[in-house]
């Protein structure tokens, strides 16, 4: 038995917090609920940024997006050439490998095609970090064509995410037989759209009411007092103007069906951990890079905003030495997951003092910080702070937002600038800027800030560029 614990990270894409944490939610997730009974659930877990590439860059480096530099999705090609995390940004995967861990990465990387291989991580199966292009993996996963509203049923074959979990199950046997501790990362595309789901999981939600509509839905762009960044869609899938009531019902049915399918896959992997005798020396984490709007505020997918639907994420960790069926309320961030697991694995010496202090079991934070810089080459500069009651969002080129989550949990009414909340807003603003300065965020200082939605390469916000394959 290795003296240091193994680590198994199961990372999904675009998984909503409420499916696992909201009492009475219709999502059927028996395996994950059973997993929570032997684990610690962090109910105030947040992503530092609700966008795939920068969030994953933060997960694997432990840094914030403005610190690691990968601030846009790689398809935007708006940062380091070839759209990838800069080679100078060392990841925890490399640090663990250098510390003697066997590192295996299966699935979605989204930080530059083949760049895990470039970093010397050789075991990169079914991954765009290995021998597959990101868009190639997407086509294998979802098939063609993709037409809004992006749902369909799968009737035969094995989808790529299922193949990834199958491979992880097979790999556990060889990893368990080794004397070296291991870090196995399994990253899925799902439940990111398009929601192509086996029929049996879609059928789990046939009992949705015929008049079902997503909670917090409203016609797109109909809300008043919102930032200009929320006044247009920036990717074809975000246009929901054509969506009927039945489209929204069917979309929710397929999204939750996708979650149920992944729940079944996770359950098989969890069983394999036990079957290989790894229960007592393996940390297991289930989480997501960010959430999904699913109709909230009229939006589908995600966008340049900090609504709870996209910033709040599931976070369930099983440590054999921790109390089971425990819920912790301290605020934690996706980018501190690796330091947490490394610390709990008995390998804390490889962490900096700051990294150790942010470990989920050490931190007592009662708020989370948020940031956003770019989307598909367009600039959207936002910073935010979210505590138990309030959420404040600041931008150098757009209006501020302030939500009282106690009286307005669906974030309909922007109360920034209201005299009654002047002191609250100023206190949050000051705390946010103190954090920005501490973290070396250039946005805290003076400087020129181009108009919201303008392109990083200088094009005007009104120009629509060719997105290429979705």
Kindly report the three-state secondary structure assignment for every residue of 346-391: CCHHHCCHHHHHCCCCCCCCCEEEEEEEEECCEEEEEEEEEECCEE
Domain boundaries, the chain: 6-366
Check residue 376 and give left, alpha or beta (phi > 0: left; psi -120 to 50: alpha). left
Q: What pLDDT was estimated at residue 429?
A: 98
**b vs e for 218-245, b when ≥16 Cβ sit within 10 Å of the residue's Cβ?**
bebeebeebbebbebbbbebbebeebee
**pLDDT at residue number 423:** 98
Domain spanning 6-366: CATH 1.10.760.10: no
Strands 282-288 and 315-318: antiparallel
Strand partners, 124: 105
Pairing of strands 182-187, 151-154: unpaired
pLDDT under 50 in the chain at which residues?
1-2, 144-147, 467-470
From CA 282, how far away is CA 274, in angstroms rounded?
10
Which of 67, 74, 68 lies closest to 51 in space, CA to CA? Answer: 74
Smallest Cα–Cα separation from 285: which of 73, 51, 5, 83? 5
pLDDT at 146: 45
pLDDT reported for residue 411: 98
Helix (H), strand (E), coil (C) string for 53-102: HHHHHHHHHCCCHHHHCCCCCHHHCCCCCCCCCCCCCCCHHHHHHHCCCE
In this prediction, residue 236 carries a pLDDT of: 84
- Residues 304 and 310: their CA atoms lie apart, in Å, by 10
444 alpha carbon, distance to own chain's centre: 25
Q: How far is CA 329 from the centre of its chain?
A: 19
pLDDT of residue 457: 60
- What pLDDT is attached to residue 153? 81
Q: How many CB atoms lie within 10 A of CB 122?
A: 12
**C-alpha torsion sign, points 233, 234, 237, 238:** negative
Joined tokens for residue 438: 């501490």
Q: Report yes or no: 336 and 359 within 8 Å, Cβ to Cβ.
A: yes
Chain centre to alpha carbon of residue 363: 21
pLDDT of residue 205: 97
Sign, CA torsion 153/155/160/162: positive
Query: In whole angstroms, how far apart are CA 112 and each of 39, 55, 128, 129, 442?
Result: 33, 14, 7, 7, 25
- With a CB cutoff of 8 Å and minimum separation 6, the contacts of 437 are 444
Angle at CA of residue 17, ends 5 and 399, nearest 5°: 120
């Amino acid at each position: 038995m290795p003296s240091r614990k193994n680590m198994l990270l199961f990372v999904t894409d675009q998984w909503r917090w409420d499916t696992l944490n909201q009492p009475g939610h219709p999502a059927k997730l028996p395996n994950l609920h059973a997993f929570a009974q032997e684990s610690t659930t962090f109910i105030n877990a947040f992503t530092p940024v609700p966008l795939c590439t920068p969030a994953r860059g933060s997960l694997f480096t432990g840094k914030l997006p403005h610190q690691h530099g990968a601030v846009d999705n790689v398809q935007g090609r708006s940062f380091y050439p070839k759209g990838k995390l800069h080679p100078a940004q060392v990841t925890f995967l490399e640090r663990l490998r250098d510390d003697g861990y066997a590192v295996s990465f299966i699935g979605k990387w989204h930080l530059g095609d083949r760049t895990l291989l470039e970093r010397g991580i050789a075991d990169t199966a079914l991954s765009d970090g290995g021998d597959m292009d990101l868009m190639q993996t997407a086509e294998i996963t979802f098939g063609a064509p993709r037409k809004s509203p992006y749902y369909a049923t799968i009737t035969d074959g094995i989808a790529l995410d299922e193949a990834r979990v199958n491979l992880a199950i097979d790999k556990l046997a060889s990893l368990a037989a080794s004397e070296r501790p291991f870090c196995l990362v399994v990253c899925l595309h799902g439940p990111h759209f398009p929601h192509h789901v086996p029929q049996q999981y879609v059928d789990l939600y046939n009992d949705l009411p015929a008049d079902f509509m997503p909670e917090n839905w409203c016609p797109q762009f109909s809300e008043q007092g919102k930032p200009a960044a929320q006044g247009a869609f920036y990717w074809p899938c975000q246009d929901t103007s054509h969506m009927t009531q039945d489209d929204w019902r069917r979309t929710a049915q397929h999204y939750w069906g996708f979650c149920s399918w992944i729940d079944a896959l996770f359950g098989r992997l969890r069983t394999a951990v036990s079957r290989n005798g790894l229960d007592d020396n393996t940390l297991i984490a289930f989480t997501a890079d960010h959430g999904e709007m699913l109709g909230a505020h009229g939006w589908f997918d995600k966008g340049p905003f900090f609504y709870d639907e996209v910033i709040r994420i599931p976070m369930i960790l099983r440590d054999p030495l921790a109390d089971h069926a425990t819920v912790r309320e301290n605020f934690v961030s996706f980018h501190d997951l690796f330091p947490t697991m490394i610390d709990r694995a008995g390998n804390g010496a490889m962490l900096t003092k700051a990294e150790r202090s942010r470990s989920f079991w050490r931190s007592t934070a009662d708020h989370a910080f948020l940031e956003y810089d770019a989307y598909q080459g367009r600039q959207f500069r936002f910073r935010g702070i979210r505590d138990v009651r309030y959420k404040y969002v600041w931008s150098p080129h757009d209006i501020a937002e302030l939500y009282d989550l106690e009286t307005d949990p669906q974030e309909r009414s922007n109360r920034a600038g209201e005299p009654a909340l002047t002191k609250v807003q100023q206190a949050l603003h000051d705390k946010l800027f103190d954090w920005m300065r501490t973290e070396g965020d250039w946005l805290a200082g003076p400087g020129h800030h181009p108009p919201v939605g303008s392109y990083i390469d200088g094009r005007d916000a009104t120009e629509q560029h060719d997105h290429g394959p979705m």
